[in-house]
Copies of this chain bind each other. A is one copy, B any other.
Amino acid sequence: MSSKVVSLREAIAAHVHDGDTVAIEGFTHLIGFAAAHEVIRQGRRDLILARLTPDLVYDQMVAAGCASKLVFSWLGNPGVGSLHAIRRAIEAGELEIEEYSHHGMVARYAAGASHLPFFPLRSYDGSDLAAANPLIRRVSSPYDGEEIAVVPPLNPDVTIIHAQRADADGNVQAWGIVGVQRDAALAARRVIAVVEELVDSSVIRDDPDRTLLPGTVVDAVCVEPFGAHPSFAQGHYDRDNGVYRDWDAISRDPSRLAAWLDEWVRSLDGRAAYVDRLGPAKVDALRPDPRPSGSVDYGSYR
């Protein structure tokens, strides 16, 4: 099988186009900052950005002018406050929004992944969310006539996920919080997996239950250690809460934000340079002590 490993630059150039619907998913965990920064560097425009929690990652992409629309369910800097670049863009009428609840977004990806025309969920009754978003509709059950809310499928042109490891065939493994990553990838036309580590196929195949996505659905594998910073990668590095807190002041001030994008994104040629700029002291401080999962026995059968 030919290897799917390519550079992140090549993967973004090949798979992310102006005007695409893009999902860089990862719920609080494994957020694809390295990939987002590469999209910024390559100057993509008019993207429709989908993500449950736009987080700093989309605040940066919006600030860099990549996006025309945001599809989301919780818009904030967790534990800190607002995402100011996104707020400014919305207020200036430069960024359209399409808003759901978390389960609504989860259900949209589920419908997209499984080729359903809609997905039913018990939400929105008595809320103003359905009035604010005409894509939230209702269906009657053919069993008891009861009405239930439904949302339409979400099929990104490309979904980018970050994970702990993959093999060259594109089999991707992740542990800890996996959020909506599987459905967001299965729903997409193209999938880029960015990983902390490339491993031999035998490592993957020794523990098939850990596989988040089989290689048959992955188009490109890119190896970018620390690529989810300032979010975290379970077992690899901690969440860099200081970056989240500091972001508030940066993103409030457009000129500071522009300078930040120059310093941390545009003047760098990739994630390795970003890690260099962070410096070994910061990187070391984010490394956890080991806590092994332990091994289970799959058995060898002949």
From B142, B292, B293, contact of A118 by CB (8 A): B142
| Nearest Cβ on chain B to A300's Cβ, whole angstroms | 4
As for how many copies of this chain the complex holds, the number is: 2
Bound together, the chains give a CA A142 to CA B175 distance in angstroms of 37
Provided the pairs A206-B294, A209-B175, A291-B298 are in contact, do residues A117 and B144 lie with their beta carbons within 8 angstroms?
yes
Contact pick for A116, options B122, B138, B209, B295, CB 8 Å: B122
Segment with Cβ contacts to B, from A52-60, A233-241, A256-264, A272-280: A233-241
User: In the complex, what residues of B have CB within 8 A of residue A118's CB?
Assistant: 120, 141-143
Q: Known contacts A117-B141, A152-B143, A176-B209; is A297 also within 8 Å of B292 by CB?
A: yes
Among B235, B288, B299, the residue within 8 A (CB) of A235 is B299
Known contacts A142-B138, A150-B142; decide if A289 and B293 are in contact (CB<8 Å).
Answer: no
Provide the residues of chain B in CB contact with A102, threshold 8 Å.
none
Q: How far is the CA of A117 from the CA of B295 in the complex (A)?
A: 40
Instruction: Sort A-B residue pairs by CB-CB distance and give the 6 closest, nearest first.
Output: A288-B299, A117-B141, A235-B297, A207-B293, A289-B300, A137-B142
> Which of A292, A296, A302 has its CB near the most chain B CB atoms (within 10 A)?
A296
